[in-house]
Amino acid sequence: MLKLPIYRRVDTFYLHARINGRQVKRSLHTADRVVAIIRASEWLKSLHMIDERTIRKYNLNINEGIAQADDPEDHMRLMQALRLMKEVQEVMNTSKPAQVARQDVPPVVAPIVPVVMPAPVASPRRDGLRLADLVDKYFLIRKQNTVATITAYKTIAREFAAFLKNPIIDEIGQADVTKWQEHLALKMSARTIDNKIGCVRALFNFAIKQGYYFATNPAQGRQILSKKEKINNGWAIMEMDEVKVVYSAGNLDFHRHDDPDFYWVVMLALFTGCRVGELTCLMKHQISVTDDGTHYLKIRDAKTFAGIRQVPMPTKLWNHGFKDFVADKDENIFRYVDREGKGSGNAVGKKFSRYLKSLKISRRKLVFHSVRKFFNDFMRDERIPFEVRCQLLGHEIENVNITHYSDKFSVDHLAHDLGSVWLKLLILTGVMQTKF
């Protein structure tokens, strides 16, 4: 069969060619491969993309019994043409009613035109861009992403490619995403599936923007959960009564001596609102102090540009023992190791869940991230301005006045605003004694 840059998607054949350095995709409006080949050949010939000098010809005339070929390769094509003509004749015989033969009317024999077979064109399946290549190009440009994000994207792309048997991205359509969703639904939650599809959607948006993919994004609008459902199914916010139990000196001080790494990550989360992954990967050079004496953390390993920030911490917490904890560290502040695709906070999260269970706190969706949500709520209750809260937590603010006409608050300014918040938390945790 003639080899042309055509492929079938669902029930339609498409022609995929490169014209003047630009990729062009054209529907051939047929599900019949033979018709697709004819239409593709005529279209390419009209654009002078089939060089007449490269066309190999042979003669086939059934009426006169002529079959001529120049070499074994032409002979193979000739045999293919004969088989094709036989199949067409069989279809015609079965689709038309039988006619009574008349001896006085000679049979009508249609003339056989010599068949022209263009030379083979390189198949796009061998040279097209695949998902693994697309991920590499994606992060070649987006250099601000964390190692955990890069690993997660590569893992998801590898899973999707393996499910589809590693096609080129031009062959991936909406039906493929649907099949993968159905496959994932057998073992994963809707939220996890949406996260994976969101990764695929981001990759194809990039491919479209960069000119690697010309169809509609196959993962666009494929979310299972609505925004409201996603919020309702998110992690719970820790309540004040639960915080009092978790951070009471009687419960947490055991870990201060038995597992100081865990203790200080848990304490810093309450006073800074940092994500667990931002804390566990801290290096010694990321801890600094201003000229006015405000100690702060330089968060560099963040998911977004807004996440790259400076977060102050109470001086009393620094003097409570954190200064001694970091004094003998060389580089890494904490002992936690970065796990592929999970960052360095996975061990802390698991131990925190066990800690909650030991305290008989078992409310659904309560995890380490719930402490960060509590910190945000507590700041709001203490009337900390919205802009300050967003800067501390590393949240984007889509407002022209904020993004274009305002600079970030200084670390000292942030520490001053947090005065009432820190005071109450220092008393709650027993770091600041109210009775002597």
The tens digit of pLDDT for each residue in 331-348 reads: 899 998 776 555 677 899
Pick the more confident residue, 95 or 391. Answer: 391
Torsions phi, psi for 99 (to 5 deg): -110, 145
Which fold does the domain 128-232 belong to in CATH? DNA polymerase; domain 1 (1.10.150)
What's the pLDDT at 25?
77
Predicted pLDDT of residue 45? 65
CATH architecture of 240-429: Orthogonal Bundle (1.10)
- How far apart CA 239 and CA 356 sit, in angstroms, is 13
**Tokens encoding 287:** 């801890």
- Do the first three CATH levels of 128-232 and 240-429 match, i.e. the same topology? no
Q: What share of the chain is helix, strand, coil (3-state, %, to 5)?
A: 50, 10, 40
Distance separating alpha carbons of residues 104 and 335, to the nearest angstrom? 100
Q: CB-based contacts of 148: which residues, under 8 Å, 6+ apart?
A: 277, 338, 341, 342, 343
- Are 283 and 331 in contact by the 8 Å Cβ rule? The answer is yes
State what percent of residues in the chain have pLDDT above 70: 73
Q: CA–CA separation, 130 vs 161, rounded Å?
A: 8
Average pLDDT (321-332) is 92
12 phi and psi, to 5 degrees?
-140, 140
Domain coordinates of the chain in residue numbers? 6-91+108-122, 128-232, 240-429
Whole-angstrom distance, CA of residue 342 vs CA of residue 316: 32
Higher pLDDT, 417 or 151: 417
Q: Which has more pLDDT, 356 or 27?
A: 356
In which element (H, E) is residue 25 found?
A: strand 22-27
Task: Determine the 3-state secondary structure of 310 from DSSP.
Answer: strand
The amino acid occupying position 380 is R
Average pLDDT, the chain: 81
What confidence score (pLDDT) does residue 101 get? 44
Q: Which residues of 404-429 are buried (b: 16+ CB within 10 A; e: fewer)?
A: eeeeebebeebbebbeebbeebbebb
pTM: 0.59
